[in-house]
Structure 1
Amino acid sequence: MPKTILITGANGGLGAATVKKFLDKGYKVIAVDQSGTHLGFAAAHDNFELKSVDATDEAAVSNFMEEIIELYDNIDGALLLVGGFAMGDIAATDGEALRKMFALNFETAYFFARPLFTHMLEKGYGRIVFMGARPALKPEQGKGVLAYSLTKSLLFHLADLLNATAKGKNVVASVVAPSTIDTAANRKSMPDADFSAWVKAEDIAGLLEFICSEEGNALRDPVYKIYNNA
């Protein structure tokens, strides 16, 4: 039986690359987003399903997770890739800006992680991966993207709390912290940058697959810094 992997933010640049990697490796993929225009390559694949869910709506996520767990019985891994970015130092970051980033970067992950973690503990196996960010680990880079950095930093602490709860069990929360990801959107917003120094979405997808694979089975409390030369 192939492992069943849930991928949120599946229609983004990283999400689409991750869906392709996991399908190529033989996993069953449940892709979650509000649209699927970048996922046409997967539409006819036997191991692919696309579900439309508003990740910012806790009730919608809760209902979806109840349905999907009942349908599949076992969710082996979850890659929680939904997030958002905003510039702004402390002078430019008011409460509204902070709440927006909190909703996009933390709540979207927490709403999925909560039922998934409980399910995985009951089943005795599971991998949850949060998408962190380098500015959350490096204050000199994070000070100009304050709300983004603060809300991404919460994911590292959440992973620590989940791993402390799951100690001694085969359920692990990981955080992947990339530098700038080489996507079409990032190239458009930074046309003069050295794209070769960025991290390719396909390389991150490969790391995510390793985390969920048997080869990564012994890892605990992991944080993965994937920066390339950026």
Structure 2
Amino acid sequence: MPKTILITGANGGLGSVTVKTFLEKGHKVIAVDESGTHLGFAAGHKNFEHKTVDATNEAAVSTFVEEIIELYDTIDGALLLVGGFAMGDIKAADGEALRKMYSLNFETAYFFARPLFQHMLEQGKGRLVFMGARTALHPEQGKGALAYALTKSLLFRLAELLNATAKGKNVVASVVAPSTIDTPLNRKDMPNADFSAWVDPADIATLLEFICSDESKALREPIYKIYNNA
């Protein structure tokens, strides 16, 4: 059954592929990002809307969510894909670096999740999906990107708390934890890596569509580790 899905970070390497996948599956997509430069393929599509909002501004996000709920009545799923990466061990991860990662990786998700989760509880159904990271689950891998791994780890705990709140209801918060995603930006930053071992964004998009579909209705408190061979 087609759903109404909100996707933040929709113009990114993963976001644009996800938008395309959901449109191909017949869903209504509300694509949220400050730019739509990579979303030209969706221009004019009857099930596509591009919205601009500063995901780091809680007041702006709150107002935006109120508006889209009033406009669309039901938001079935929200894929909160905004985030940022930075290398740096404990020596490099000073307060400024930590605050930047906290804003990009946690607050942008929390600001959307807070009103959307309440909306989903009221309507009795819904799926929230956070984009975690393998480095947040494995300290040995995350120690060299400490601020990134630490702030991503908060999303796992947030999902646990939301699922505890929604227990007994058809509202679920999930976390997808990929290894390195095969995006143009990652290829540019790591030109000597084995790209074949990375995770194809299309595979993540397919997983995200499954999470929001009726086929996943019995799942609760899920964490999806999608690593390929990286």
Task: Kindly state the Cα deviation for residue 104 of structure 1 after the two structures are TM-superposed.
Answer: 0.3
Contact 2:132/2:178 (8 A) holds in 1 = yes
**Paired amino acid for 1:208:** L
Task: Tell me the residue number matched to 1:132.
Answer: 132
Q: Distance in 2 between matches of 1:190 and 1:95?
A: 26
Q: Distance in 2 between matches of 1:179 and 1:217?
A: 26
Q: Distance in 2 between matches of 1:130 and 1:63?
A: 21
Tell me whether 1:227 sits opposite 2:198 in the alignment.
no
Q: Distance in 2 between matches of 1:175 and 1:119?
A: 19
Q: Distance in 1 between matches of 2:114 and 2:95?
A: 25
Task: Tell me the residue number matched to 2:183.
Answer: 183
Q: Distance in 2 between matches of 1:60 and 1:179?
A: 31
Contact 2:2/2:27 (8 A) holds in 1 = yes
Alignment deviations for residues 173-192 of structure 1 (CA, whole Å, 9 cap, x no partner) = 00000000000000011111
What TM-score do you get using the length of structure 2 for normalisation? 0.99
Task: Tell me the residue number matched to 1:45.
Answer: 45
Task: Tell me the residue number matched to 2:95.
Answer: 95
Task: Tell me the residue number matched to 1:215.
Answer: 215
Q: Distance in 2 between matches of 1:25 and 1:145?
A: 36
Alignment deviations for residues 146-182 of structure 1 (CA, whole Å, 9 cap, x no partner) = 0000000000000000000000000000000000000
What TM-score do you get using the length of structure 1 for normalisation? 0.99
**Paired amino acid for 1:143:** K
Q: Distance in 2 between matches of 1:202 and 1:2?
A: 19
Structure 2 unmatched runs, 5+: none
Task: Tell me the residue number matched to 2:197.
Answer: 197
Name the SS for the 2:74 alignment partner. coil
Tell me whether 1:18 sits opposite 2:11 in the alignment.
no
**Paired amino acid for 1:104:** L
Alignment deviations for residues 46-85 of structure 1 (CA, whole Å, 9 cap, x no partner) = 0000000100000100000010000111000000000000
Q: Distance in 2 between matches of 1:121 and 1:166?
A: 7
Task: Tell me the residue number matched to 1:36.
Answer: 36
1:51-66 → structure 2 map (5 Å cutoff): 51-66=51-66
Q: How many residues align?
A: 230
Task: Kindly state the Cα deviation for residue 44 of structure 1 after the two structures are TM-superposed.
Answer: 1.2
**Paired amino acid for 2:159:** A
Task: Provide the identity percentage.
Answer: 82
Name the SS for the 1:35 alignment partner. coil
Q: Distance in 2 between matches of 1:99 and 1:83?
A: 13
Name the SS for the 1:92 alignment partner. coil
Contact 2:176/2:224 (8 A) holds in 1 = yes
Name the SS for the 1:176 alignment partner. strand
Q: Distance in 1 between matches of 2:212 and 2:88?
A: 35
Give structure 1 regions of 4+ aligned residues with deviation exceeding 2 angstroms: none
Alignment deviations for residues 10-51 of structure 1 (CA, whole Å, 9 cap, x no partner) = 000000000000000000000000000000000111000000
Q: Distance in 1 between matches of 2:155 and 2:105?
A: 8
Name the SS for the 2:91 alignment partner. helix
Contact 2:32/2:51 (8 A) holds in 1 = yes
Task: Kindly state the Cα deviation for residue 2 of structure 1 after the two structures are TM-superposed.
Answer: 2.8
Q: Distance in 2 between matches of 1:77 and 1:56?
A: 20
Name the SS for the 1:182 alignment partner. coil
Q: Distance in 1 between matches of 2:44 and 2:200?
A: 26
**Paired amino acid for 1:94:** D
Contact 2:2/2:25 (8 A) holds in 1 = no
Q: Distance in 2 between matches of 1:2 and 1:129?
A: 17
Aligned-pair Cα RMSD in Å: 0.6
Structure 1 unmatched runs, 5+: none
